[in-house]
Amino acid sequence: MFRCTLGPSVKYLASLPTLLQNRMSSSRPLLVAVCQVTATPDKEANFSACKQLVEEAKERGACMVFLPEAFDYIGSSREETLALAETLGGHLISQYAQLARKLEVWLSLGGFHERGHDWEADQRIYNSHVIINDEGDIMSVYRKSHLFDVELPEKGVSLKESAFTVPGPALVPPVQTPIGKVGLGVCYDLRFPELSLALQRHGAEILTYPSAFTVATGAAHWEVLLRARAIETQCFVLAAAQVGRHHDRRSSYGHALAVDPWGEVLGDCGGEKPGVALVEVDLEKVARTRRNMPVQQHRRDAAFYSSLGPT
Q: Let me know: does 222 contact 233? Beta carbons within 8 Å.
A: no
**Pairing of the two strands 106-115 and 64-67:** parallel
C-alpha distances (whole Å) from 104 to each of 19, 57, 62, 131, 135 are: 19, 12, 10, 14, 7
Exposure string over 206-218, b if 16+ CB within 10 A, otherwise e: bbbbbbbbbbebb
Q: Let me know: does 43 contact 75? Beta carbons within 8 Å.
A: no
Cα–Cα dist 117/126, whole Å: 9
Residues with active-site annotation: 69, 144, 187
Q: Let me know: does 236 contact 243? Beta carbons within 8 Å.
A: no
- List the one residue out of 216, 221, 137, 146 whose CA is nearest residue 184: 146
Residue 77: what are its φ and ψ, rounded to 5°? -160, 165
How many CB atoms are located within 10 Å of the residue 67 CB? 32
Which amino acid is located at 169 in the chain? P
Q: Let me know: does 31 contact 62? Beta carbons within 8 Å.
A: yes
- List the one residue out of 141, 158, 140 whose CA is nearest residue 149: 158
